[in-house]
Chain A
Amino acid sequence: MKTLLEILTAELDAPVSPVSGTFPATVPVCSVPRERFAEAARLLKRAGALLAAEWASDETHLGRGFGVYACYRRDSGYLIVCAALPLDDPSFPSLTRRFVPAYRFERQMHSLMGVVPDGHLDPRPWIKFEDWPEDAFPLRKTFDGSQALPRVAGEYVFGKAEGEGIYEIPVGPVHAGIIEPGHFRFQAMGEDIINLEERLGYVHKGIEKRFESLSWQEAARLAGRVSGDTTVAHSLAYCMALEAMTGCMVPDHAQWVRAVMLERERIANHLGDIGAICNDVAFAFMLYQTMRLKETMLRTNKEIFGHRFMMDCVVPGGVAAGLDAQYKAVILEELSAVEDEFERLVMIFDENSSLEDRTRSTGILSAEEARDLGMTGLVARASGMQLDCRKDFPFAPYDRIPVNIPVMSAGDVHARAWVRIEEVRESLRLIREMISTMPKGQRSAPVGSPAADTTGFAAVEGWRGEIIYWLQSGPKGEINRSMVRDPSSLCWIGLERCVLGNIVPDFPLCNKSFNQSYSGNDV
């Protein structure tokens, strides 16, 4: 089969030039004339590719204008297509006609970088709020990120369904629970949801801008705080992109320990989610049971890695602490205990018909919708898509310890819960295998500084799904741009779709079954 790059080179009616200084070599980057940016998207879509991310970079310090980038994924291959935009006319053809995820990516690019997607149908800001000055583009180099922004008058207009008996329910940003803030606007008729519009951006902390003022070392700590529940996967993706740029060879031992932590993070979060989904259908028993198991794992994390969520345990070049025989034994012993308890709970879950009643055929996202909307991670896998970076883009030890990817076809709340159950089982198996094959060695290797004007890319399967980091160095080898793409930036839209036709009281359940990150989305 031809690669995406070969297809694009053969079929695009314009020059496709390879870009140098991009790492790793397995992820090619090519540039096209900006007028052909959308045409490239059309050809790649026809070849079966999905849009994984789209972003812009201010490259004035590198003696250019702006760059726009689109990252495509098909099976096990990534391709990044970029186009150069002149400073005085930073517009480019929108990809929204081909790919749904471009809809929010491009609104965000316009809002924060001031590049203009021609042909985009929705001019409203995204992440940026209506009370920011319109010409405030924080990701531009000319913008001083340390200054407070004044508030201006403005209004955000929500989509509206009209007709007799239709009413509106605004929810948030402060929600009725211990959760992150965001706004949901429902249009309902009787109990049925006719439309849901999400309004996110409340926890925008200016993370991408902040990266640009940090050293490469400090930035790893920031990456670990993009989404606190996914700290291992985020810091890992950041570190892998940096290590690719600097040619750092991470010792095998460290690679294995990283993977053990990644799987532990997956198990802990899935346990919490399985319990929370049950709790939302008034089966509190399960929440208390799974949270108990989760707590024991967090305590073990603290004992072994020094932090309950393993924050700052993945560091550039390796890990903060290795695993010795004594700790391996602790982990193995705990695994057996957790597994034993977990299987009992799964049996109870499986036999509970009222639970099944509420979760089956609730919040269905069909396979076709999931594909069209560009879903990733467990949401995609519950809707029949077989994708997982651990298989598609494997790094050690996943290249030697193959992962079984559970895929369900129903696309409902039950499927999303059940994918989690299967993934917990698989992660338990993986950790055992990793521990038994773990090579001895150093816990880290020195990381140099990236050369000027180079880029690094990494994709890691966090517990929600594919996390992408794209780093770019400036003229002095400093951080010029750090693009963070949490899976939530893709999957939030799936929630909007799956609740249509469901009743309003089932929204919390659907939302729980997605459990997307606000902080990771809003960066």
Chain B
Amino acid sequence: MIRILYQILRTGIKTEPVDLPADTDIREIGAELKAIIDRHFNGSLTIRQVDAGSCNGCELEIHAMNNVFYNCEQYGIHFTASPRFADMLLVTGPVSRNMEIALKRTYNSTPAPKLVAAVGDCGRDGGIFGKSYASLGGIHEVIPVDAVIPGCPPSPADLLGGILKLLKNKQ
């Protein structure tokens, strides 16, 4: 236990805080995000992530949003296990034919405002996988999309910026 406490103390706070000039990008995005989420979502934007056929690269970066550097919870962004509690779906991949039905069902289970962000070059238009017998292409081919966050994969900062852009457009 002593070791654990010592390690925690040694590590200190690695989070790049909203109001400190650690990484300009993140700082600005974070402050704006937090303001919007406080105002319109009572301080908590709940996201259900759906992998509709990705290579898992985009998932790694979505995970990274939760690490101590980005710590997206500080802006009020939380991930939920159920679409029924979600304000927003973060959908990755080209939609594979074998995931089409599951994606539609997830979308239908999500309550309003049902915001949808299509993540990655694949989420935008199918990326390198294109359209084929197995890949239906971008997310918009299957469910309505509010914003695209391009990149292969988009970095955690891109993701936070993309979510912010979506929220601003919806205001």
Contact = CB atoms under 8 A, between A and B. Distances in A.
B143 interface: no
B57 A229 contact: yes
B48 to A, nearest CB: 8
Nearest to B100: A151
B60 A229 contact: yes
B110 to A, nearest CB: 12
A259 interface: no
B7 A289 contact: yes
B57 A225 contact: yes
A311 interface: yes
Nearest to B53: A203
Given A206-B133, A225-B128, A295-B67, A178 B98 contact: no
A207 B59 CA distance: 19
B170 interface: no
A174 B56 contact: no
Interface string B131-143: 1111110000000
B31 interface: no
A327 interface: no
Dominant SS among interface residues on chain B: mixed
- Chain B interface residue count: which class? 35 or more
A202 to B, nearest CB: 5
A19 interface: no
A138 to B, nearest CB: 6
A345 B128 contact: no
B56 A222 contact: no
Contacts of A181: 51-52, 99, 102
Interface string B1-13: 0011001100100
Nearest to A128: B98
Given A176-B82, A229-B57, A298-B64, A351 B3 contact: yes
Contacts of B131: 146, 148
19 contacts: A145-B132, A148-B131, A148-B133, A148-B136, A176-B82, A177-B79, A178-B62, A181-B99, A202-B53, A203-B53, A203-B54, A207-B129, A225-B55, A225-B57, A228-B55, A309-B153, A347-B3, A351-B3, A518-B56
Closest 7 CB pairs of A and B: A228-B57, A206-B134, A176-B81, A228-B55, A291-B67, A228-B56, A225-B55
